[in-house]
Amino acid sequence: MSVAKGRKAMKLKLAIATALLTTALVSGPTANQDVQLATVNSTSDAMSLGLELMEAPQLASSIDLETVETREIVAIDEAGLASAVISDDAVLASLTSERAIDVDAIRKDAEARAIAAAKMPPHLFSIAEAGGDADVELVVRHSGASSLSDEQLEAMDAEVVREFHSMDMRAVRIPADALMAYALDNQIDWISPDEKVFAMSESAHGSANEPTVTQANYAFTGSGVGIAVVDSGVASHVDLPNGILQFDFRDPSSMHVDTATQSLVPSLTGTIDGFGQGTHISGTIRGSGVDSHNRYRGIAPGADIVSLQVLNADGSGQSSAVIAALDWLLVNAAQYNIRVVNLSLGRGVTESNTTDPLVLAAERLWDAGIVVVAAAGNAGHSGNMTINSPGNSRKVITVGSLTDAGTGNDASDDYAATFSSRGPSTGDLVLKPDLLAPGNKIVAAISSNQVLAQLLPTRHESCTRNGCNSMYLEMSGTSMATGVVSAAVALMLE
């Protein structure tokens, strides 16, 4: 049967040259002979056969391995996957369309289950245990190059969705049935679900202590400092400069391989932002304020914005798209003088920050000397332990939202916004957020055809310059506070 096409009846095939040590085995098959395959229904059957071959090397040596298409005998012993002849590598090495052990046997084996459970968070292991033919989106960390070939992935009806250049990760789509068998590859360190990330806006300048025109620090604008806004994109607006570079990471099929660096290159798009948050964040950071007589001027109007588009028009995207953008930054940040990364997005914490691929990717940038600023999240109404990933990282700057009660420079009545997520982080108990910044009722650039502008018609603010036709939008959230901090970092770096 074709394993790749028969999901519901999918059988993962384990190579066992036939034994039960028949005459065909003793005489040695030839290239023109069919070799009988024994279906292994239990680990004891496989162990028994493996021991027989080990005890009769003269018989084992008579097998034409190229004809039988196998390299090892596989079994799982009481100590886990045995070394040498009995190994987890052999399970994957033997996955072709003509080899037979069904996935139920793997899922029911205690040792195989223990190995798989040690390589994924509990909620993902529950999916692996249940099985089924529904696809599971994964981010897989591996030691060096993965030992899985395209043919082996095809045998499991799996697909590599993304490869990363600077991180030992890959995004994989695989049926739940095959997930536990996939985890047996000893090159795989950890498997996480490729979970959805979301914009952190709830659908100021005074409380940010922004320098006024009469103060010396007003001369600092963030000039020469590049800020990567990893968000929904940037649309055209008179307050934002023409020619903002925007790269699209949402669809891996639109990316191509750079033959010089062997890295994936995203498509360079125009200023497109269906949702609107990326435009609003960019205006918060470096809006010129030209259409509002500087009333809605950004904190760092001299900074350079590079837009890395990872969120769709509904404000959501995949973790793997964010990781792809961060992976690209590791290679290209210096070329565009990017020194700050703004992550006004996130998702709930579902595993430790020591294994979460989104956290690990953000920390790689931090370790490379790039300042990473992440939103704490907007789940403060649910109380403590509501910090989002990747804001639960011990390294990056995690930003909560401050409410100034509308009194501007008077900080005596400022308080943490009720929506702003609170620490400590789930599981790892990291004290977060690191700081609070204005994130309540922030007004910045928006375009009338963007989703947020249509969802929030009562929050529109009109431009004030004669003859203007641009629009601004009042929004709240830790996303807005994160943009304020990223801009402040640019001023400090200048």
State pLDDT tens for residues 282-298. Answer: 999 999 988 888 889 99
State pLDDT tens for residues 429-445. Answer: 999 999 999 998 899 99
Q: What is the pTM of this model?
A: 0.77
pLDDT for the residue numbered 469: 80
pLDDT band at residue 260 using 50, 70 and 90 as cut-offs? low
Phi-psi region of 383 (alpha: psi -120 to 50; beta: other; left: phi over 0): left
pLDDT for the residue numbered 103: 62
Query: Which is more confident, 469 or 429?
Result: 429
Backbone angles phi, psi at 438, to 5 degrees: -55, 125
pLDDT for the residue numbered 45: 39
Nearest to 235 by CA among 464, 400, 446: 446
Between the ranges 34-38, 215-219, 270-274, where is the mean pLDDT highest?
270-274
pLDDT band at residue 202 using 50, 70 and 90 as cut-offs? low
Instruction: Quote the CA–CA distance of 235 and 213 in Å, as a whole number.
Output: 29
pLDDT for the residue numbered 211: 55
What's the whole-number mean pLDDT along residues 345-355?
Answer: 96
What's the whole-number mean pLDDT along residues 390-414?
Answer: 84
pLDDT for the residue numbered 444: 94
pLDDT for the residue numbered 56: 37
What's the whole-number mean pLDDT along residues 2-22?
Answer: 30
Query: Which is more confident, 464 or 212?
Result: 464
pLDDT for the residue numbered 155: 74
Query: Which is more confident, 65 or 173?
Result: 173
Determine which of 14-28, 246-260, 468-482 has the lowest per-residue pLDDT on average. Answer: 14-28
Please state, for a pLDDT cut of 70, what percent of the chain lies above it. 70
State pLDDT tens for residues 149-159. Answer: 666 667 788 88
* 3-state secondary structure (DSSP) of residue 216: helix
Q: For residue 111, what are its two tokens?
A: 């040792």
Instruction: Quote the CA–CA distance of 240 and 445 in Å, as a whole number.
Output: 8
Instruction: Quote the CA–CA distance of 335 and 317 in Å, as a whole number.
Output: 26
Which ranges constitute the DSSP H helices of 352-477? 357-367, 451-455
pLDDT band at residue 55 using 50, 70 and 90 as cut-offs? very low
pLDDT for the residue numbered 8: 32
Nearest to 204 by CA among 484, 488, 435: 484
pLDDT for the residue numbered 71: 28
pLDDT for the residue numbered 143: 86
Determine which of 66-70, 116-120, 201-205, 259-263 has the lowest per-residue pLDDT on average. Answer: 66-70
Answer yes or no: is pLDDT of 276 > 90. Answer: yes
Burial class (CB in 10 A: 0-12, 13-18, 19+), 91: buried
Please state, for a pLDDT cut of 90, what percent of the chain lies above it. 53
Answer yes or no: is pLDDT of 464 > 90. Answer: no
What's the whole-number mean pLDDT along residues 324-342?
Answer: 96
What's the whole-number mean pLDDT along residues 249-258?
Answer: 82
pLDDT for the residue numbered 259: 66
pLDDT for the residue numbered 96: 34
Residue type, 307: S
pLDDT for the residue numbered 375: 97
What's the whole-number mean pLDDT along residues 398-416?
Answer: 79
pLDDT for the residue numbered 463: 85
**Percent helix, strand and coil across the chain, each to the nearest 5:** 30, 20, 50
Answer yes or no: is pLDDT of 191 > 80. Answer: yes
Contacts for 413 with CB less than 8 Å, ≥ 6 apart:
404, 405, 407
Answer yes or no: is pLDDT of 50 > 50. Answer: no
Determine which of 10-24, 75-89, 259-273 has the lowest per-residue pLDDT on average. Answer: 10-24
User: How high is the mean pLDDT of the chain?
Assistant: 78
Query: Which is more confident, 223 or 354?
Result: 354
Query: Which is more confident, 363 or 51?
Result: 363
Answer yes or no: is pLDDT of 472 > 90. Answer: yes
Instruction: Quote the CA–CA distance of 49 and 45 in Å, as a whole number.
Output: 6
State pLDDT tens for residues 297-311. Answer: 999 999 999 999 999
Query: Which is more confident, 491 or 88?
Result: 491
Q: How many CB atoms lie within 10 A of CB 381?
A: 11
pLDDT for the residue numbered 407: 64
State pLDDT tens for residues 98-145. Answer: 333 356 777 778 888 899 999 999 999 999 999 998 999 999 999 866
